[in-house]
Every structure is written in C-alpha cells, then in structure tokens.
Amino acid sequence: MKKIGVLFGQENTFPGALVEKINSMEIDGLTAEFVHVGGVHLGVPSGYDAIVDRISHDMPFYRAYLKNAILNGTQVINNPFWWSADDKFFNYALAEKLGVAVPRTVLLPHKDFPPDINAQSLRNLEYPLDWEGIFDYVKFPAFLKPHDGGGWRDVFHVHNPGEFFHAYHQTRDLCMTLQAAVNFKEYFRCYVVGQSEVRIMAYDPKRPHSERYVMGPNTADPKLLKRVEKDALTLCKALGYDLNTVEFAVEDGIPYAIDFMNPAPDADLHSVGRESFDWIVDAVATLAVKKAKASDKVMSGMNWSAFLSGTTVEKKAAPKKAAAKKAVAKKAAKKKD
C-alpha cells in the first residue's frame, strides 16, 4: 500500500481537504493521511511514499525529518534541500538572468551583526557604505525587506532616506534588501503546481490580508496574462519548486516578479475563495499521487546537486533466483567436466 502524508501546522481547511480529495480518487493501493512522526531514527524510511510539506520552513525538526525521508525514498513537495539553499535575493538575481523583469534591488549588510561578529570579522566590508549611491540606484519609494523572509514580516515601505534609516534601525540582525517599489495598476498572485499548471489570481496587496484576493472573472489583457504564466513557469522550473506562488506587479504593461519564494503558499478556503481553493486542492492531489507512484525510484547520486534537483533513476531489479540457480548449475557442470 502506497501512502501519502500531509505535514502541516495551523492550517484548518487545506490539509483535510487534500487528504479527503486524494482518498476520494479511490486509487487502488494508495491512501492519504496526516503525517505522524516522533523521534526519527537515522536512515529509517518514513513510511510515506510522498509527503506534502506545509510547515518545515517554521520548524527545523520537520526540515531534518524530511531530508532524511528523501534519502530513504520519499518524494517531498517541496524539496526541503531547495528550501534550505534558497533566499529571495538569489531569486531576484536568477530572475534577471532568465529575462524575467524584477525591480532594482540591493542586498544590505546587517544593521546589528550576529553574535561573535566583531570589527575584525568585518575587514572585507566597505565602511561607511555608499548610501547615496544605493539610493540613487534603487530610488524611492522602495521596500526594505528581509532577503529570505516571508509573510510580510519585517517589511517596511519607505519614501525617503529618513524613513529608510528609521526602518533600517529596527531590523536587528536580519539581512535586508532594498527594492524599488512598482507603481502597479494590476497585481497577480499565481499558483504554480508541478511546474506545469498555473492559476492566475487577481490580488491587491494594499487591502487588508483577509481581502487581498479579488474574486470574480479576470479581465486583464490576455497577452499580459500569457506573459505572466510564462514567467511564472520559467521561475518555478529554474528553482525546482513543485508548488509555489509567484507574485507580479504590473507597471506600464510590464509584469515585475515581486515575490516567488512561497513553497507553502496560502491555500486557505476563506482567503483564496472557493474556486481557487478547489483548483489548488485538485492540482496538489494529482501531483501528490504522481509523486507517490514515482517513489520506487532512487536518488541518482548522494551529492548536493542531486538533492537539489531531485534527480532519480529506476531501481535496478534484483536478479531472478532462477537465473542465479542456472548459473550455479552451469558452474558445477564445468567442474565435473
């Protein structure tokens, strides 16, 4: 019996709906359930052929559990090795290399440095920073935000150097980016599943969190939507994410990729609405079943590149006993001769 597990935290609508959907598909020899885990024994399989991960970004124990599960044959959505290696500044740099539009962005040193860092640790760091040059490049208004954050935590909208420094002094030892604000007329949040399926949702980040998804038909220019879909797929394929949301802010007809490191994206019925909720449940259920069926494959190599790419190969079939017995018989016959 193949088994799919859902690993989650405070969510109330999506995990249960996903388990129910997979089980309602009535696939012979396959079942879904919530993951149950205690102390993790080194090198022991998890018992799941596939796991949909919704929480390991907030809980290091789960992240370590999932890495061990992958080494022992479990397919995980999303790959926890990518989660560990990724950050938003790298994503912006990657997008630019791929030809996807991104706002002007600068990575900044920590305001307060991590413990055990002193003046000798900073001998490679320019001091004082060329703040004027940074501001001239990015320009205001801008957003100051963590280089690997999420959930709009520690994000500041700044309009001038004074506001910037007031915000920067509140960032503790976080590594931050300063990014040009996009004066958008349209904004989209896109579900991307399996690096192939895309659902484009109108979204308004200026509204309260509970009202940001704009319900109703999408009336945007079809050519614009086609480019948004193409860019969303380009980013997720390059990053190796099987489940993600990609956000685009549109200015002068150009969709700028704003946020695309969301491998456990919001999928709550009460925020995304019934149509998008049903779409994401169906799409992830289909993907999880596909991953579970591929769990008979093994990692192609025990190295970081294989872990990141999730590259697998078919397991080699064990030699048949009959063939082995035949070989032994032939060897014995030769000895008699």
- Reported as a single tens digit per residue, the pLDDT across 201-213 is 999 988 887 788 8
pLDDT band at residue 274 using 50, 70 and 90 as cut-offs? very high
Question: Residue 331 pLDDT > 60, yes or no?
Answer: no
pLDDT band at residue 85 using 50, 70 and 90 as cut-offs? confident
The CATH number of whichever domain residue 132 belongs to comes to 3.30.1490.20
Residue 328 belongs to some domain of the structure: no
The values of phi and psi at residue 119, to 5°, are -60, -35
Question: Residue 322 pLDDT > 60, yes or no?
Answer: no
User: What percentage of the chain has pLDDT greater than the value 90?
Assistant: 71
Last residue of a domain, one of 219, 240, 260: 260
DSSP alpha helices (H): ranges in the chain?
14-24, 60-71, 80-85, 88-98, 131-138, 161-168, 222-239, 269-272, 274-293, 304-309, 321-336
21 and 78 in a single domain? The answer is yes
Residue 242 belongs to some domain of the structure: yes
User: What percentage of the chain has pLDDT greater than the value 70?
Assistant: 89
Residue 192 belongs to some domain of the structure: yes
Q: What is the pLDDT of residues 115-165, one digit of tens each?
A: 888 888 988 999 899 999 999 999 999 999 999 877 778 999 999 999 999
Last residue of a domain, one of 260, 277, 304: 260
One-letter amino acid at 127 equals Y
Count of structural domains within the chain:
3
Residue 9 belongs to some domain of the structure: yes
Question: Residue 175 pLDDT > 60, yes or no?
Answer: yes
Task: Give the span between the Cα atoms of 337 and 332, in whole angstroms.
Answer: 9
Residue 332 belongs to some domain of the structure: no
The mean pLDDT value of the chain amounts to: 90
Q: Provide DSSP, 289-334.
A: HHHHHTTT-EES-SSHHHHHHT-EEPPPPPPPHHHHHHHHHHHHHH
131 and 171 in a single domain? The answer is yes
Scan for tokens 């079943």, then name that residue: 289
Judged by average pLDDT, the poorest of 67-76, 147-156, 328-337 is 328-337
Residue 306 belongs to some domain of the structure: yes
Domain that holds residue 111: 104-180
* CA angle in degrees (0–180, nearest 5) for 249-275-210: 55
Residue 297 belongs to some domain of the structure: yes
pLDDT at 148: 84
115 and 175 in a single domain? The answer is yes
pLDDT at 156: 96
Q: What is the pLDDT of residues 17-55, one digit of tens each?
A: 999 999 999 999 999 999 999 999 998 999 999 999 999
Preceding omega of 128 cis (within 30 degrees of 0): yes
Query: Considering the entire predicted model, what is its pTM?
Result: 0.86
CB burial of 276-293 (b: ≥16 within 10 Å; e: otherwise) equals bbebbbbbbbbbbbebbb
Neighbours of 3 (CB within 10 A): 19
Residue 299 belongs to some domain of the structure: yes
248 and 220 in a single domain? The answer is yes
pLDDT at 227: 97
111 and 51 in a single domain? The answer is no
229 and 246 in a single domain? The answer is yes
